[in-house]
Chains A and B, each alone.
Chain A
């Protein structure tokens, strides 16, 4: 178990202890305030260089990471893969070596292949690698910001602060994850984070969109989606990964929406306090009805907002703090 992410790569949330998760959440809390200032910048990473390489298209995650790095005063090197030599057949190893040769401290990386961030971390052991999504494997900062958002909403309701509440609000929290778990790196990170933090996690999906051997995951598969909606404190919807061929795993998008979409009618089963989440980008009308996405209990925009302080925390812990011997 990783006891603290200080000075560590962030490649996966598997094997990250609850204490290490808590440290990220609390650190992020301290950066929320920075983002509310008129001058949104602290000198924490001044002189550090953060490179971001996105081998796979992304808008929000890339913007979020680069914003986070800039607010910590780091210099940001941004490799646009579409216009780079990667298109000319350069290998992952050579691309990494080239960026590294410019002198970098951290590498934020997204790649279409599972495990790519781990592979790259072996090529540049002196650089802290932050996984911004690798294939179907992990999207650790999404898992962290989802946990952060839940704690923020619940602590506000309890009239306390996130830091004061610690991990208390996660204990026994009922989280229902719905949709394309099979092709979702967000689901893999969320499920690990939530179960490590003490939540009870259930999943609802057509059989074909459940991963192989789901029985070995720390979740329960629900047989009745509608009942599970009444049970849930939090409903986490997943994007149907049509670009990964998920379309052929269900007979039609309409049928998916009818059976496992959060339609307006179905959303009436939710308690008014049930938190509705979605990592975006949403397929409105497929996994979530437009009106549901705009309900007060839907915190989708807040998830995006929280991406910045959480990624600030991740970068800060990876780079600004020296190892204190309490790491892995």
Chain B
């Protein structure tokens, strides 16, 4: 393997940052110092003016393989992820068929090893994600699965969710919930409120999410099992989780970049690119989420990258599938949401160290078939690194996406901050914001 010297960037540790050089050799960080002489045969990456942090970890990527390869494959998703600064993705299990058994999990893990980055798997909680009977979580855990979710839909039946938490607890894995009470949200395609009422679109009320957050907090209290709340979209949800955490309950949560940067008014043109579950919320929730993000109420930003074939997003708003692309712009949108004077430590906490902890991808975790992520950037760490330029100004374009699908709602949006380089498992995968 080659060696790489990342030169002159702000090296962002878990609590402090300082300008310096990072030397990578044979897949491992071998030195981090103020200045390192360029060893012979070593290539150099100029990171002056940039932040050098641990490779980003996405807790929430729908890679669509197997079953819907027209929208995305594990390979194309991994490329999109690398462009976005991610060195590890957690592949969501709502494929066709669902990732609810060892054969399918093994398939995805195998495909993942053929990509330049690490692909971990979230297994389904229930067979076929039907919310009825438990999937073989212990068998999947033995393959290295550390997160389980029926995402796309939450586990609706409280007795099934209780049983799943009780079963998962001794396995050392974490369940993750898509919080929406589907009976309350039934038939809805955008946030319920004055706007949905005027547009004649059936709404998905904020309460549909908050009720399930409330229920699951109580189930965590009952069972003692850890639970991760996926893509929370209302300030009330975040406050509920924060209160539970203060009580000492083992709960974590993520927010998605689109819930930090778009509000329900985007749905006014009935463009299904803006249809997502949970839906884009009121402007007050977007602002509330940003404040919560800055004040540390959120453990991770996760993309909820959800590719859909173009013809599906050409359907009428209420008929089109929900979901939008997220991997390539997550870092820039998080940077935007953090506002003005962004603390690089917090930035990498949200995009790398926080999610790596939740997904158990760190150096000290019991790891199976992948390298370590979210490290402190010290010698001995696996070389998963990202170089992020906080001053870059660029424009999102659906013509240059690396996903197979093009359902990004950000076409033409001015962005600040860009991933310049991604080093995954010691290899330079993205250089000058292009795949190598």
Contact = CB atoms under 8 A, between A and B. Distances in A.
A113 B319 CA distance: 8
Interface in A197-212: 211-212
Contacts, number: 69
B42 to A, nearest CB: 52
B364 to A, nearest CB: 49
Interface string A110-150: 01111110110000000000000011111000000000000
Given A119-B270, A212-B192, A213-B194, A91 B201 contact: no
Contacts of A216: 194, 197-198
B144 to A, nearest CB: 40
A134 to B, nearest CB: 7
Interface in B294-326: 311, 314-319
Given A91-B315, A111-B316, A113-B318, A119 B199 contact: no
A114 B192 contact: no
Interface in A146-196: 185, 188
A116 B316 contact: yes
B271 interface: yes
A115 B270 contact: yes
B316 A115 contact: yes
A105 interface: no
Given A136-B200, A138-B200, A114 B317 contact: yes
Nearest to B203: A212
Contacts of A226: none
A188 B200 contact: yes
A191 B271 CA distance: 25
Nearest to A245: B187
B41 interface: no
B407 to A, nearest CB: 14
B196 interface: yes
A216 B197 CA distance: 9
Identify which of A113, A136, A185 gathers the most chain B CB atoms within 10 Å of its CB.
Answer: A113
Contacts of B316: 92, 111-116, 119, 135
Contacts of B315: 91-92
A136 B194 CA distance: 14
A118 B200 CA distance: 13
Given A91-B314, A93-B314, A216-B194, A114 B199 contact: yes
5 contacts: A93-B311, A113-B319, A118-B270, A135-B316, A188-B198
Interface of B: 192-194, 196-203, 205, 269-271, 311, 314-319
